[in-house]
Structure 1
Amino acid sequence: MKTIKGPALFLAQFAGDEAPFDSWESITKWAADCGYLGVQVPSWDARLIDLKKAAASKDYCDEFKGIAAANGVEVTELSTHLQGQLVAVHPAYDEAFEGFAAPEVRGNPKARQEWAVDQVKMALSASRNMGLKAMASFSGALVWPYVYPWPQRPAGLVETGFDELARRWRPILDHAEDCGVDLCYEIHPGEDLHDGVTYEMFLERVGNHARACMLYDPSHYVLQCLDYLDNIDIYAERIRMFHVKDAEFNPTGRQGVHGGFQSWVNRAGRFRSLGDGQVDFGAVFSKLTAADFDGWAVVEWECCLKHPEDGAREGAEFVRSHIIRVTEKAFDDFADGGTDQAANRRMLGIDR
């Protein structure tokens, strides 16, 4: 068994135009002051990182990591959630996702998709230059608008969508292999990879690619009424990243999983700050530890009620209190009477 690393913080929800959230220097100091040992970096945010430089220059990456280290935190992983989303976009979401892309490719789905692929590949190269083992992303979605089977789906529609999704991601996964970096898809509603079944459908189509891994976030499973503990048992070998995020699901006679188009505050399923929701993190940390997960426990603050800075500070201590320092000996070693093979055979009555 291995001790999970942490606590770390995903910076995407905190980066902004005001200090201390507007520069790499100041946000890493703030994260360390909150009690974090690591930070996960949104690679699309130019206030924090120059992705093109990071992909091309190890010297830049060494300087980038050096600033973080001097301020008391380590770079845990890079994230390409927004760029990964644009690798596959159904036309229904063209306008909604335009803001994720560079201005020069907006309004041109083909150019936007090519830009997104290049961005994800650059982030993989940057991860290699930083000596990182894993990178986070979304899969994007071609089939998501048809998630509910009404109107009846035409035969082959889903299969065609997943074939195309795999075709788009396979060259990126091969680049991940070249870089020695696991590409970890966050299993998430709104993505074609939104549960275990869809992940397996994708995995089969990319030839069980060794780099097609998972980012585990139990909050997204709570909101789908999916068994988030059994999920660890099933996919332990593929789980290479971990977002620590809480959620609650409180269905009523008026609404359930789909939420009735309500705001986050008014939905039956909603995200909460750590400890305020329904996720059994004691069990989650125990299962991941027993499964030899040796990555980072990364807090992703998303709460419909609590202020983000309060959630961040409380989250650091919450994770610290849940990390299990693994034992190097068995609790009953004191009763070990010593034995050998001959004694074992006598105890079993084999030689009588």
Structure 2
Amino acid sequence: MKTIKGPGIFLAQFLGDEAPYDTLDHLAEWAAGLGYKAVQIPCTPKLIDLETAAESQSYCDDLRGRLDKHGIAVSELSTHLQGQLVAVHPAYDNLFDGFAAEHVRGKPAERQAWAVEQVKLAARASRRLGLDAHATFSGALAWPYVYPWPQRPAGLIDEAFAELGKRWRPILDAFEEQGVDCAFEIHPGEDLHDGATFERFLDTVDQHLRARILYDPSHFVLQQLDYLAFIDIYHDRISCFHVKDAEFRPTGRSGVYGGYQSWVDRPGRFRSLGDGQVDFGAIFSKMAAYDYRGWAVLEWECALKHPEDGAREGAPFIRDHIIRVTPHAFDDFAASRTDRAANRRILGLPPEHQGSRGEFQ
């Protein structure tokens, strides 16, 4: 078994205009000071020049060297925003347009082509950085129809997933060429938002081995999905892990759908680590038992607590939940070397060279 790596921290929620949140170097120093061992880097020009990283080994070596000075590694790169733009239903065009580079905004076809290229560049950059997994979103064509009313036309969801698979297949092939897993965060708002939709997607890409999962239990709490059983079912596809807490407290007024309320007022809301309902002891135990080899990365989102406090508390929380796996069974002190003859005697069986009546063969 392998001990989970960590703690890491996803930088997306902390990036800002003032130090220490303004540059990758400052963020690395800040994260190290809190006890983190790695950063998950969103592919924004403020933190990484993706085109250069995809082409230049010296650029990537320099980036890693700058982080090494602070004792910080790169856990993964992230193209959540670019991945979202691989598939956008027209209902969300305006809302998602700000995720794109300025020169493709308002141009859905050009925006999609740009997003596809960005994710492919991230595959190459990941390889140059020595990474074996990448974090992203799938985007969504079917999400407006998640609730089956009005009645969906026959074949609508099949058509949406066929198109989603068509768009992602060449991207997954690009990840295969680089030897990097493409881990989709299973997330409401994406067409891949639970196990059933992930399986449907796998069918459209011929069970592509690079189509993997970014596991985040908080999104399952809000959907009322069994986040522990999910690990049992899909552990061999999990390549990334966001450690994020959540709670779900339904009322007589509102439940899973949230009543269009703010995050503070919704029955299901994200919380800082330890403030919600997620059983992280059970999660880390399962991840260790299933030999998860990646990083445990804090993604901080909380409707109540200040982000600086969430980040400060996150590193020791993750560190204390990581199980340093045992190199041998707890009862090895009583073990003896294999002795087949002795085992047969214990079972009341004759030696192998004797017949059933004690006759030598």
Q: Which amino acid aligns with 1:218?
A: P
Deviations 1:56-81 (A, max 9, x none): 11110000111011112001100000
2:21 maps to what in 1?
A: 21
Residue in 2 aligned with 1:9?
9
1:194 CA displacement: 0.2
Distance 2:347 2:187 in 1: 52
Amino acid at match of 1:22: D
Total equivalences in the alignment: 351
The yes-or-no answer on 1:58 pairing with 2:57 is yes
Amino acid at match of 1:119: Q
1:277 is the counterpart of 2:265: no
Cα drift, residue 289 of structure 1: 0.3
Q: Does 1:142 align with 2:141?
A: yes
What residue is the counterpart of 1:312 in the other structure? 311
Letter in 1 for 2:164: L
1:33-52 equivalences in 2 (<5 Å) = 33-43=33-43, 45-52=44-51
Tell me how far apart the structure 2 counterparts of residues 336 and 209 of structure 1 sit (CA, whole Å).
Answer: 42
Deviations 1:248-285 (A, max 9, x none): 00001100000000000000000000000000000000
* Counterpart residue type for residue 179 of structure 2: G
Which residue type is aligned with residue 309 of structure 2? D
Aligned position for 1:194 = 193
How much does 1:230 deviate? 0.4
Equivalent position of 1:101 in the other structure: 100
Who is 1:76 aligned against?
75
SS in 1 for 2:229: helix
Take 1:40 and 1:339, find their aligned partners in 2: how far apart are those partners? Answer: 46
Partner of 2:321: 322
Separation (CA, whole Å) in 1 of partners of 2:110 and 2:142: 21
Hey, what's the Cα distance between the residues in 2 that align with 1:264 and 1:298? Answer: 22
Aligned twin of 1:301: 300
Structure 2: distance between partners of 1:117 and 1:302: 27
Task: Name the structure 1 match of 2:88.
Answer: 89
Separation (CA, whole Å) in 2 of partners of 1:318 and 1:2: 20
Counting only pairs closer than 5 Å after superposition, residues 158-197 of structure 1 correspond to structure 2 as 158-197=157-196
TM-score relative to the length of structure 2:
0.96
Aligned residue for 2:262?
A: 263
TM-score, structure 1 normalization: 0.99
Measured after TM superposition, the shift of residue 25 of structure 1 is 1.2
Structure 2 SS opposite 1:266: coil
What is the one-letter code of the residue matched to 1:287? K
| Separation of aligned partners in 2, 1:257 and 1:225 | 8
**Which amino acid in the other structure matches residue 53 of structure 2?**
A
By how many angstroms is 1:50 displaced?
1.0
Distance 2:52 2:70 in 1: 22
- What letter corresponds to residue 270 of structure 1 in structure 2? R
Distance, in Å, in 2 between the alignment partners of 1:188 and 1:276 is 21
| % identical aligned pairs | 68
Gap change, CA 1:183 and 1:344, over 3 Å in 2: same
Alpha-carbon distance between aligned partners in 1 of 2:207 and 2:126, rounded to the nearest angstrom: 22
What residue identity is the alignment partner of 1:115? Answer: W
Task: Give the whole-Å Cα distance in 2 for the aligned partners of 1:172 and 1:330.
Answer: 42
CA distance, structure 2, for counterparts of residue 339 and residue 209 of structure 1:
41
Following superposition, the deviation at residue 52 of structure 1 comes to 1.2
Task: Give 1:338 deviation, angstroms.
Answer: 4.6
SS for the counterpart of 1:223 is helix
Other-structure match for 2:353: none
Q: Are residue 347 (structure 1) and residue 346 (structure 2) matched?
A: yes
C-alpha root-mean-square deviation of aligned residues, in Å? Answer: 0.8
Output the CA distance in 2 between the equivalents of 1:40 and 1:210.
22
Counterpart amino acid of 1:328?
Answer: P
1:221 aligns with 2:243: no
Per-residue deviation, residues 113-138 of structure 1 (Å, max 9, x unmatched) = 00000000011110011110000000
Shift of 1:342: 0.5
Aligned ranges for residues 229-244 of structure 1 at < 5 Å?
A: 229-244=228-243
Task: Give the counterpart letter for 2:39 in structure 1.
Answer: V
Secondary structure (helix, strand or coil) at the match of 1:64 reads: helix
Shift of 1:339: 4.7
1:32 paired to 2:39: no
Using the alignment, how far apart are the partners of 1:298 and 1:224 within structure 2?
21
Could you tell me which runs of 5 or more consecutive residues in structure 2 were left unpaired when the two chains were aligned: 351-355, 357-361
Tell me which amino acid in the other structure corresponds to 1:95. N
CA distance in 2, matches of 1:60, 1:110: 31
* Aligned amino acid, residue 55 of structure 1: A
CA distance in structure 1 between the partners assigned to 2:249 and 2:208 by the alignment: 38
